[in-house]
Amino acid sequence: MTSANVDMFKTLDPEHAGTTSEGVVTQLREMIHRGELRPGDRLPPERDLAKLLGVSRPTLRAGIRSLAAVGVLQSRQGAGTFVVKSDGPPSLDSSPLRLMASLHGFTSAEMFEARMSLEMAVAGLAAERATGDHMATMAEEVAGMYASLGDPEQFLVHDVRFHQTIAASSGNRILTALMNMVATILFETRIKTVKRATDLKESAEMHRHIYRAIREHNPEAAREAMHDHLIRAKMAWDLEEPHDLEHAPPNGSNGNGASS
Amino acid sequence: MTSANVDMFKTLDPEHAGTTSEGVVTQLREMIHRGELRPGDRLPPERDLAKLLGVSRPTLRAGIRSLAAVGVLQSRQGAGTFVVKSDGPPSLDSSPLRLMASLHGFTSAEMFEARMSLEMAVAGLAAERATGDHMATMAEEVAGMYASLGDPEQFLVHDVRFHQTIAASSGNRILTALMNMVATILFETRIKTVKRATDLKESAEMHRHIYRAIREHNPEAAREAMHDHLIRAKMAWDLEEPHDLEHAPPNGSNGNGASS
DNA sequence: GGCCGTAAATGGTCATACCTTGCTTCGTGT
DNA sequence: ACACGAAGCAAGGTATGACCATTTACGGCC
């Protein structure tokens, strides 16, 4: 800590007005997108890093906390603080959206419509760009659905993977992230009601339609098939007891999820 | 603090596992979406609130910081901490997306495509639902563009307002928020290059096409007009010098912005 | 050589003090 | 009586230091 290693952590210039902890956030952000800190990297211990940046530990912690809240950093007690390693597709934390939903009283219908628009857009792009590998995976998942008609939970797994494969083959990670953000919120309230299977066969059929449209590189058909699929899913959904977007799980889980 | 006022701040149950500060976040979130704290409200002073929740001030501050980072709370030194008052449409902070962009090296083309998909979806919905008021506003903004052909900055103002009016008339605040999130990032790098006007007349024409499609309640035409518009905007955009998504402004500004 | 325990490393929490900034109120001057 | 300004108070921001909880890693023991 005394001398050597890296001096890439320059003590922050007080000129950058604003509060000190904001300065820390700025410093860390710049280090990240300058490539000095890359996904998966571990930050120096808080005590050291605080000295290196010339701030106190609480102030540094405040900055880290801010970045952790938006999903860029992750701290594990006893282990260290890490730049989030997104192994799969990049993902955005859905808790801000969830908060906004409760703050403004969004209906689940509105949320569902947003998801539908995003899924349709993604399906359209996927129809233009899906590679052979992607389509093979989709076909497998569809087959998996047919094979799981008696096991709703297993069916749901294939369902989610199918939608994520579509997102992946859209080639647009931003849309994918946004779609997952919305889908996650819907998913969290849905997973509890999955037990009561609702016409899994029809659902599998519709997924197959989507797959075939993508397979034929027909964006319009893909969009339409996705539209039909989600419309029916919503209708089945609406038959269940009232779903509140209100009771979000306590912790702002960041997981991805897409449902039928 | 001793007795009376409100005891809606119940000391948090330690049962909810996780770290203490996460518990604080949970408490505050639930208070918000239970309606005990509403937009614009001011939280009790940190020292009091810490006692009420049964945690120390640093821990409480950590929780507040997390919520502030995602744009739900805002603290002003000397004044207090407030639940963010969103006067206009709800908006999501774009800094997480910006961070994700630098983390994964998103190209501006990808960002642009995401925006196009969102704008097309929104335009389609707007064509189905826009009210007379909305359309009147759109018409005014289009007129404003024609009137500002010699003043790029003024033109841009009308441009932004036009797109936001479309978003508003889509009736889906979630898609609107997501669209603004993406548009903001593009906008921030664009506002610097606005000075060099590029075919404002053509741009105004295309906006008029969009308007007319919406006016005629023709979703497909609206989507297509928006598509053409953004394709051309992107082409003009690509002619400029290399735009880096990298140099985001130091502070994670939360403003809304949509450009042509 | 593999397994388990202990110790060091590291983030999480707490208590306290002091500084900086807004806001408010009281006093003075016009 | 009104207006302006200065002082005091309130509230968030930062710093210091200590201790707790957990994870990791090293080393001894079987």
Please give chain B's pLDDT, 260 residues, in tens: 333 344 445 544 444 556 788 888 888 888 887 878 888 889 999 999 999 999 999 999 999 999 998 888 999 999 999 998 776 677 787 878 887 887 788 888 899 999 999 999 999 999 999 999 999 999 999 999 999 998 888 888 999 999 999 999 999 999 999 999 999 888 877 766 665 656 788 899 999 999 999 999 999 999 999 999 999 888 877 776 556 655 544 444 444 444 45
Residue that is written with structure tokens 């192994």 in the block: A87
Alpha-carbon distance values, B46 to B43, B62, B82, B83 (Å): 8, 11, 12, 14
Distance from residue B19 (CA) to nucleotide D27 (C1'), in Å? 32
Q: Which of A16, A65, A96 sits opposite B71 (nearest CB)?
A: A96
CA–C1' gap, B31 and C25, in angstroms: 34
| Residue A63: closest C-alpha in chain B | B65
User: Inter-chain contact B96–A92, Cβ cutoff 8 Å?
Assistant: yes
The reply to whether residue B69 touches residue A72, judged by beta carbons under 8 angstroms, is no
Q: What is the pTM of this model?
A: 0.81
The reported pLDDT for the residue numbered A17 is 56
- pLDDT of A191: 67
How close does chain B come to A228, measured CA to CA in Å?
16
Interval A82-102 mean pLDDT: 79
Residue A251: predicted pLDDT = 43
Q: Looking at residues A182-198, what average pLDDT do you find?
A: 73
Interface of B with A in 38-67 (CB under 8 A): 39, 58, 61-62, 65-67
- Over its C-alpha atoms, chain B yields an Rg (Å, rounded) of 22
* pLDDT at site A70: 85
Of the listed ranges A127-131, A187-191, B1-5, B245-249, the one predicted with least confidence: B1-5
Specify the 3-state DSSP secondary structure of B42. Answer: strand
* pLDDT of amino acid A259: 46
B105 to chain A: which residues are within 8 Å by CB? none
pLDDT reported for residue B193: 62
Q: Does the CB of B148 sit below 7 A from strand C? A: no
- The per-residue pLDDT for A84 is 85
Put simply, the answer to whether A96 touches B174 (Cβ < 8 Å) is no
Q: Please give the pLDDT value at position A256.
A: 45
Check CB contact under 8 Å for B177 and A100: yes
Query: Taking the CA of residue B73 as centre, how many other CA atoms within 13 Å lie in the half-sphere pointing to its CB?
Result: 26
Which of A100, A138, A102 minimizes the C-alpha distance to A122?
Answer: A138
Cα(B147)–Cα(B219) distance, integer angstroms: 27
Question: Residue A234, Cβ neighbours under 10 Å: how many?
Answer: 17
| Chain A residues touching residue B70 (CB < 8 angstroms) | 69-70, 93, 95-96, 99
What gap in Å lies between CA B114 and CA A169, rounded to an integer? Answer: 14
CB B160 within 8 A of CB B236: no
The stretch A226-244 carries a mean pLDDT of 80
- Residue A2 pLDDT: 37
- Under an 8 A CB cutoff, do A103 and B62 touch? no
> Under 8 Å CB-to-CB from A104, ≥6 apart: which residues?
B86, B90, B173
Cβ of B173 and A71 within 8 Å?
no
Contacts A–B by Cβ distance under 8 A: 171
**pLDDT averaged over chain A?**
83
Partner B contacted by A118 (CB < 8 A): yes
Of B66, B114, B118, the CB nearest to A69: B66
